[in-house]
Structure 1
């Protein structure tokens, strides 16, 4: 592990003015005191490992072994102790993802997903690390960081290498036959490719292999409502010129290429 990563994580958690700064340390400490484990996960770990400036991180994704209800209690008490009781919290039915949002905003500031990992001395609920990885979009978004032991976990075995490769590797992980979920992965690939295009080129062999094992008629299986949702997410998250976007789309296997062509051209 890059020896500067722990320093960057500390700088992120203690960043003056960051909306999570008052509650992050108390929350981690309260979870740790219960004997459970909690990790930074997903995009925040990706950004720290790749050297993105801490002020460019917008939110904190967490994964851990605390049951959702217990975590919600700990989160609420930590917010009260940090004088942030006005920050609303929620638990999503089904997935049991816990979240906290700034007042008046629907943007999730902290998001927590419960995990269950063999070998712990206490009961845990949710998915395992391996199961969690299979639900994520790309290997570079399937990383976990232990803030107490200063360790990075890479359950896919290749997330760090794919992230730091000279040509960043877009290896898709999401195991689903749901057309909309697969379409979301393609849109996110475009989002990250445009974000990183000045940093390093993209290697799309992995996502093309993933696309080749899905429905070749991806575009035709989406409903009008799903197209509207994708178009809205595309408009909000994808930057870069249309020319650059089309150049990336042209490198994808047919289902992904067709999907992006419709979005870039103005799908309704």
Structure 2
């Protein structure tokens, strides 16, 4: 087995496990997912791989309490945070995923901020990653919502990314987002990889961390995320192996977002972060990165940049000046005429 694809249609109604497609080695040459539904039982199947995170070296998986005696308590408090959009659903949903034979973990900013001891009320979103194919996740979520008396909430799947979202009724406001472990090498979106491969499609090692709230373990999928996050200087180690110019530009933008957030102050305190790995990565990007973006892509990046960057234009330019040319030119273009 090589992974899972999704053959549903956006806006075509409720997605189910019947929309999931099983992939084998050799399907990389296909232009679209094959008509191969995922079997509903494991009868007759022979296991050829272990369940994540057992696919990682032992040194990549840590008991949460070894990183701080209060970390398991903070994780529970985050799930139960009063007024948080995810609070009514998250514990029953994680239990249902586990009961279905799959795993799901806190990922992205939620896992990073939890480990970094950020005040819980500052955690804005709850992202999940796991082993469940998208259609099956929609099934499990819908059943959980029904059991919780929340049937009016919707579960959506974004075809271009296979991100599953639980959405409030008559609104685009999201309770949680989930995505399977990213897998590359196909001409369409695929999930179902190993944790180490998933880390290669995250932006930075500190954002490849995951937290298992059932077993209270911290998963460092890249092997350097904890050191990067908790070291004397917060280190920016790019992970994404994509050669797509838009994806590369997104990583540069997100570097600006995090660096300017963590180094805010007057003057800008960039001495508190280690940008050396980021600079090495940017220096290897195409010199004409900006010119390789379409007008629509560049406009989308500008919108994203001005929505997420809160630092003064002066601090934005100070950060841009520290980057090799492809990154510097991109950030200067995104800043535009800001004063």
Specify if TM > 0.5. yes
Deviations 1:120-168 (A, max 9, x none): xxxxx62221121001100110001111111001021110111112221
Give the CA deviation at 1:245. Answer: 1.1
For the residues of structure 2 that align with 1:231 and 1:136, how far apart are their CA atoms? Answer: 21
Deviations 1:193-250 (A, max 9, x none): 1211149722211111111222111111111111110110011101111111111111
**5 Å matches for 1:119-268?**
126-198=192-264, 201-266=272-337
Runs of at least 4 residues off by over 4 Å: none
Q: Secondary structure at the match of 2:88?
A: helix
Given the two structures, how large is their TM-score scaled by the length of structure 1? 0.91
Confirm or deny: 8 A CA contact 1:23 1:79 kept in the other structure.
yes
For the residues of structure 1 that align with 2:142 and 2:250, how far apart are their CA atoms? Answer: 32
Match of 2:159 in 1: 93
For the residues of structure 1 that align with 2:277 and 2:227, how far apart are their CA atoms? Answer: 13
Q: CA RMSD in A?
A: 2.0
Q: Residue 91 of structure 2: which of 22, 25, 38 is its match?
A: 25
For the residues of structure 2 that align with 1:77 and 1:3, how far apart are their CA atoms? Answer: 35
Confirm or deny: 8 A CA contact 2:236 2:276 kept in the other structure.
yes
Q: Which runs of 5+ in 1 are unaligned?
A: 118-124
For the residues of structure 1 that align with 2:229 and 2:170, how far apart are their CA atoms? Answer: 35
- Is the alpha carbon distance of 1:196 and 1:160 closer, same or farther for their aligned partners in structure 2, counting shifts above 3 Å? same
Higher relative contact order (CA 8 A, sep 6+): 2
For the residues of structure 2 that align with 1:10 and 1:198, how far apart are their CA atoms? Answer: 30
Match of 1:122 in 2: none
For the residues of structure 2 that align with 1:146 and 1:95, how far apart are their CA atoms? Answer: 23
Given the two structures, how large is their TM-score scaled by the length of structure 2? 0.72
- Is the alpha carbon distance of 1:19 and 1:108 closer, same or farther for their aligned partners in structure 2, counting shifts above 3 Å? closer
Q: Out of 169-178 and 91-100, give the one that drifted further.
A: 91-100
For the residues of structure 1 that align with 2:90 and 2:321, how far apart are their CA atoms? Answer: 42
Confirm or deny: 8 A CA contact 1:58 1:109 kept in the other structure.
no
Q: Out of 230-239 and 66-75, give the one that drifted further.
A: 66-75
For the residues of structure 1 that align with 2:170 and 2:232, how far apart are their CA atoms? Answer: 41
Which has a greater percent of helix?
1
Q: Is 1:51–2:117 an aligned residue pair?
A: yes
Match of 2:137 in 1: 71
Q: Out of 81-90 and 1-10, give the one that drifted further.
A: 81-90
Which has a greater percent of strand?
2
Confirm or deny: 8 A CA contact 2:257 2:308 kept in the other structure.
yes
Q: Secondary structure at the match of 1:112?
A: strand
Give the CA deviation at 1:18. Answer: 1.0
Larger Rg: 2
Q: Out of 201-210 and 102-111, give the one that drifted further.
A: 102-111
For the residues of structure 2 that align with 1:183 and 1:266, how far apart are their CA atoms? Answer: 19
Match of 2:77 in 1: 11
For the residues of structure 2 that align with 1:171 and 1:3, how far apart are their CA atoms? Answer: 27
Confirm or deny: 8 A CA contact 1:20 1:109 kept in the other structure.
yes
Q: Which runs of 5+ in 2 are unaligned?
A: 1-66, 184-190
